[in-house]
Amino acid sequence: MNIKDRKKFINRFRFRLSYLSRLLEIHPKTKAFSANKNGAIGRIYVINLDRKPHRWKQISKELKRIFLNKSNTLFSLTRRFSAIDARYLEKKLIVIF
C-alpha cells in the first residue's frame, strides 16, 4: 500500500466513523428550522427524480431523525417536488446567453 492509498483509506475511515457516531445521537434537535419563529428557516424543498425513490427514502429518513421539538421533526417542514428528467426529453433546448 503506498502513501496515497493509505491517506485515502484513513480519510474514508474517519468519515465513516464520524457518520456512524452521528447516527448514535438519540434525539438530535435543531433551532435553525421552525414553522413559527421569525428568522428561522420555515420550509425545506426537496427536488427528486421519480425514478430515484431510494434517494427520497434516504433523505426522508434523515429528516425524520432530527427533531424541532418533542413531537415535530424536520420532515414536517419538507415539501417534495418531482424533478424534470432530461433523459426523456425529446427536443433539445439551446440556451443562448
**What would the pLDDT profile of 3-21 be if each residue is shown by its tens digit?**
678 888 899 999 888 877 7
- According to DSSP, the residues that pair with 47 across neighbouring strands are 81
pLDDT at 35: 57
Rounded to whole angstroms, the Cα distance separating 73 from 48 reads: 20
Rounded to whole angstroms, the Cα distance separating 45 from 74 reads: 11
- According to DSSP, the residues that pair with 81 across neighbouring strands are 47
Residue whose cell numbers read 426537496 = 46
Annotated domain spans of the chain:
3-84
Q: 82 with 50: CB under 8 angstroms?
A: yes
pLDDT at 95: 66
pTM: 0.59
Residue 18 one-letter amino acid: S
